[in-house]
Amino acid sequence: MRITILTGAGISADSGIATFRDADGLWENHRVEDVASPAAFRRDPQLVQRFYDLRREAVQQAEPNAAHRALAKLERELGAAHGDDAVTIITQNIDDLHERGGSRNVIHMHGELLSALCTSCEGRHRWKGSLIDGPDCPSCGIATLRPDIVWFGENIYHTEAIYRALEDCDVFAVIGTSGQVYPAAGLAAEAAQRGARTVLLNLESTGGLFDDEQLGPAAEIVPVWVDELLTEI
Ligand code: BJW
């Protein structure tokens, strides 16, 4: 039995992290094209660095919620019976709340806020502080660090691992994402084509074709879903 789970901003909303496209979302005060593309970074690096510095700080104040912890429990319990890779989380989120909630098998397809990428040497470094003052890259010494995040028009990370997790899963669950950003938005349909049962757990219906939909706040509905799944298996 293998379960692959795609998560988005909605799973971290109950930890106090703003989503992108909901009312009062992160981008309400920013045009996406001003902060989340390579062109935006070239045009105004200070604005972009400040935006991510604030979010890096906020993420470190946030705590995993019951939904993150329930997915970790699913991984632990299913892993004990079906092997370490029985549960894979593919997350679009750049926070580290899945890991701090106890999950191990996590793929960050849009990068990580607590990582800095050097555009000179392509080195990656765990980074908790600010980038706005242009610190030197610990590898090459050049001050060209940027947030290690996938912006629009850039290739997603870990494509091979994502498709491996999608190809051989029995259940593909989608939690807390509006399904507006590709290629993430197409993964459930691809898993269904390969024979997986699909389920959406979200605050509201997102209109995709899922075998099952459970609506409500992730911190409430995910623990219930996990417990049901563990009794079924
Ligand atoms: C709750 C809740 C609660 C609230 N409980 N639920 C194919 C077709 C068309 C376009 C493209 C395509 N392929 C590629 C593209 C272009 C582009 C794209 O998709 N554009 C769209 C606008 C159409 N994609 C890309 O550029 C990607 N790269 C790529 O494909 O490379 C190859 C390529 C390039 C160019 C052309 C063709 C191919 C890269 C995408 C990178 C996305 N990066 C971002 C920003 C990261 C930086 C940052 O964080 O600032 O990642 S965009 C942003 O959206 C962020 C998120 O990960 C992503 C998804 O958002 P998410 O998680 O769904 O959040 P929301 O806010 O939208 O939704 C929250 C949901 O939760 C809602 O439904 C709520 O109801 C729910 N919710 N509270 C449960 N308590």
Token pair for residue 82?
């079906």
The pLDDT of residue 208 is: 77
pLDDT in tens, 154-180: 999 999 999 999 998 999 999 999 999
**Are residues 230 and 77 in contact, defined by beta-carbon separation less than 8 angstroms?**
yes
Which protein residue has the closest C-alpha to ligand 1 atom 66?
20
Token pair for residue 199?
């389920």
Distance CA 32, CA 152 (A): 9
Atom of ligand 1 nearest to the CA of 14: 80
147 lines ligand 1 (CB under 6 A): no
Distance CA 214, CA 111 (A): 28
CATH number of this structure's domain 18-61+113-149? 3.30.1600.10
In the chain, where the domains are located: 1-17+64-110+155-233, 18-61+113-149
CA atoms within 13 A on the CB side of 144: 10
Q: Could you tell me what percentage of the chain is helix, strand and coil, using 3-state DSSP and rounding each to the nearest 5?
A: 40, 20, 40
| Ligand 1: centre distance to CA 22 (Å) | 13
The pLDDT of residue 28 is: 64
**Are residues 28 and 75 in contact, defined by beta-carbon separation less than 8 angstroms?**
no
Which protein residue has the closest C-alpha to ligand 1 atom 2?
10
| Ligand 1: centre distance to CA 55 (Å) | 17
Distance CA 127, CA 19 (A): 22
- pLDDT, averaged per 10 consecutive residues of the chain (233 residues), comes to 97 94 72 83 93 95 98 96 93 98 98 98 98 98 98 97 95 97 97 97 92 98 97 88
Q: Where are the beta strands (DSSP E) in 19-170?
A: 87-91, 106-108, 111-118, 124-126, 145-149
The pLDDT of residue 22 is: 76
- Residue of 20, 34, 155 to test ligand 1 pocket, by largest number of atoms within 8 Å of CB: 20
The pLDDT of residue 90 is: 98
To the query of whether residue 110 is one of the catalytic residues in this protein, the response is yes
Classify residue 42 as exposed, middle or buried by CB count within 10 Å of its CB (0-12, 13-18, 19+): exposed
Token pair for residue 42?
């070239």
The one catalytic residue in 82, 98, 110, 158 is 110
Q: Does domain 1-17+64-110+155-233 have CATH number 3.10.180.10?
A: no
The pLDDT of residue 27 is: 67
Q: At 69, which amino acid appears? A: R
Give the dihedral of Cα atoms 59, 64, 11, 7; nearest 10 deg. Answer: 90
Distance CA 90, CA 188 (A): 12
**Are residues 207 and 215 in contact, defined by beta-carbon separation less than 8 angstroms?**
no
Cross-strand partners of 146:
117
Distance CA 57, CA 35 (A): 17
205 lines ligand 1 (CB under 6 A): no
